[in-house]
Amino acid sequence: MNGDPGARRPNILWISTHDINPDLGAYAGVWPGADAARTPNLDRLAAEGVRFDQAFATTPVCAPSRSALMTGCHPISIGTHNMRTKAVPPPEVRLLSEYFRMAGYYATNNWFTDLQVHLPGTAFDECSDTAHWRGRPDVETPFFAVFHGMATHEAQLYLADAEFDRITAGLPEAHRHDPASVPVPPYHLDTPEFRKAWARYHDLVSVMDAWAGGLLRQLDDDGLADDTIVVFWSDHGAGLPRMKRAATEAGLRVPMIVRWPARLAGGQVRTDVVHLADLGPTMLTLAGLPVPEHVQFSPLFDGEGRPVEQGEYAFGGRDRMDEQQDSSRTVRDERYRLIRHRHPDRSPLQYQHFADRFPTWRALRTAVNGEARQRAAGLVPDVMTPVQRRATGPGKPELEHTRGNDHLGAGVAARNHPQ
- Beta strand pairing status for 399-403 and 268-270? unpaired
Taking the C-alpha atoms of residue 394 and residue 273, their distance in angstroms, rounded to an integer, is: 33
Taking the C-alpha atoms of residue 132 and residue 199, their distance in angstroms, rounded to an integer, is: 32
Helix (H, G, I), strand (E, B) or coil at 107: strand
- Residue 368's alpha-carbon distances to 186, 347, 371, 381, in angstroms, are 16, 12, 5, 10
Taking the C-alpha atoms of residue 336 and residue 314, their distance in angstroms, rounded to an integer, is: 11
Q: Residues 96, 144, 67, CA angle at the centre, nearest 5°?
A: 30
Taking the C-alpha atoms of residue 71 and residue 292, their distance in angstroms, rounded to an integer, is: 10
Q: Check if 73 is active-site.
A: no
Which DSSP category does 408 fall into? T
Phi, psi of 255 (to 5 degrees): -80, 145
Amino acid at site 329: R
- Residue 164's alpha-carbon distances to 156, 167, 169, 207, 353, in angstroms, are 8, 5, 8, 11, 23
DSSP helix, strand, coil percent of the chain (3-state; round to 5): 30, 20, 50
Q: Which residue of the set 62, 70, 277, 368 is catalytic? A: 62
Would you say 316 and 247 are in contact if contact means Cβ atoms under 8 Å apart? yes
- Residue 410's alpha-carbon distances to 30, 54, 185, 405, in angstroms, are 18, 20, 10, 11
Taking the C-alpha atoms of residue 13 and residue 232, their distance in angstroms, rounded to an integer, is: 9
Task: Give the active site residues.
Answer: 62
